[in-house]
Structure 1
Amino acid sequence: MASSTHKLYHVHGCDSRQVLEDYFADKPEMVFAEDSLIFPMEQLTRTFTGGHIKGDILVDLSVGPMIHHLYAACEFFEHIIVLKVHDRCILEMKRWLDSRTGAFDWGHVTKIHVEMEGKSVQLQEKEEKVREAAQHVVKCHLEKENMTDPIVLPPPDCIISVVLLDVISKDQDDFIRYLRKFSGLLKPGGHLIMLGALDRTYLMIGKDKLHALTYDEEFVRKALAGAGFVIDDCKVKKRTVVSDRTDYKALIFIAAHKEK
C-alpha cells in the first residue's frame, strides 16, 4: 500500500478504543509498553518535577484517547483542557474521566506512575487527581482559525502534543503549519512538550493503516526554531519494539519554550 493511500487520522478517523488496545493495554502480547508508556512517562515526570514548567492551564493536543501522559502534568497545572478531533475519541476519554462502566483500565499505568514518583500515594487517589484536573474535553477543528470554535480558550501556559503532528501532517510543510498554529495558542514564554516518532511511514490501528509523516531530529529542531521556539531539552530513544504494526526507528521527546 503506497503512503499516499494510507488513511489520514484526522480525515478518515480510526477506532479510538483500538488505539488503546493496540498500544497501551496491560496484556502479554502488547509489546509497546517500554516505548509508548515507560519512556513518555519517565520524560514527563522528570520534566515537570524539575519545577520550571507549571501554571494554571495546560492544553493537550494528542492522538487517541490517551491518559497516561497527563499523570505527571496534573500535579503542576490547575486545569487541563483536552482537545480531540474525533467525537469517538471524546466519548472514550469521558468514559474514563467520568468513571463509567466499560472504561479502559489504566490501572497498570497508574501503578507505574506512582512508582516513578516514589510517593506513598494510593492508586485511586492518583486517578482522581487526573480526573479533577482534566474536566474539559473539547472538539478540535484543525483547519479553523480558532480550532475550538465557537469556544475561545484562554492562552495556556503549556501544550502537550503526543504523536498528533505525526499523523495529521501530509508533508513537512503541513507539520510546520500546524506547529505554528499550536504556537499561536500559547502565551508568550509558554512551553511546548512534544513526543513523536522518527523515520516512521505508517502505523496500524486494528486493520487500518494510517499515514505517518517521515522526519528526522534535524527537521524537528529547525521547525521549532522557525516557529519561534527555543529547545530546552531533547531526548531520543532508539526503538526497542519488535512489531510490524508500525515502523519508526526512534522516539523523540522535546521540551521547548516560546520566545516572548
Structure 2
Amino acid sequence: MPKNSSPDGESSPGLSPSSWPSPWPDPWGRLLREALAIEPDSVARGSEPPVLPPAAERGWPAAVLIAVEAGEQPGVYFTQRAADLKHHPGQISFPGGRVEPGDSGTAAAALREAREEIGLDSRCVHLIGQLPPHHTTTGFRITPHVAWIDAGVRLEPDGAEVARLFSVPLAHALEPANYRTTRRVRDGAQRLIYSLDFQDDHIWGATAAILIELVRRVARVRQRDFAVAQGE
C-alpha cells in the first residue's frame, strides 16, 4: 500500500489534503478529493424528494470499496453476486463485506474483501477518503471507502461469491440525471429506493444509495443543482 494510504480511515469522512498521494488523475482526482472533503451535514439535498430520518448509530459494521480505475476516462468497478447464493443472489454491489475481528478498521476490511472477491492487490490501491456510513434495512452499517486503483491492474472474480466484474464510466455514475427514485413500503414504513442503469445492468438499493451520497457532493463541488427523477 502507498506510504500515505491509511489502512483504517475511521476518524474522518475524508483524509486531509496533505495526506493525498500525488500525482492524482486530474481533473477527476481533484473533483473526488474536494467532494470527499465536504462535511456530511453541509451537503445540500437540492430538490431531491425528502429522505427518511437516518437510522441510529447501530448495526453490524461492514465496508465496501468504491474502486475507480485511473485513466482519461475512469471507470467504477462493480461486482455481481453469484446466482446460487442464499443472500442477495445476482445482485450488483461494490466489493466489500462485514468487518472481521482481525481487521484494523473499515478500510482494512474493504481492502481485504476486494482482495478476496476480485483479486485486487492492496499495493495497487490509493485510498482517497470515505463517505458517511450507510445503514441498511437488513441491519448493516456500511462504511464506503473511495480509492483510485492503478490502470490495467489484473482483476478476476473469485467465482464463489462473485460471478462477474464490470465497470461503469465514472462520468455516468456521477451524473444525477442518470438516477431514478421509487418509493416502497417495508415493515409499515415508506422508503426511497435509488437506481442507476448502465447498458444492461440495473444498480439499485444500498449500492445506488451509497453512490448518491457521492453524487450529491460532486454536484456541490460543481455548483450544480442536485435532482433525481421519479421512476415509474
Same fold per TM (> 0.5)? no
Which one has the bigger helix percentage? 1
Specify which structure has the bigger relative contact order, considering alpha-carbon pairs within 8 angstroms and separated by 6 or more residues: 2
Taking structure 1 as the reference length, what is the TM-score of the superposition? 0.29
Which one has the bigger strand percentage? 2
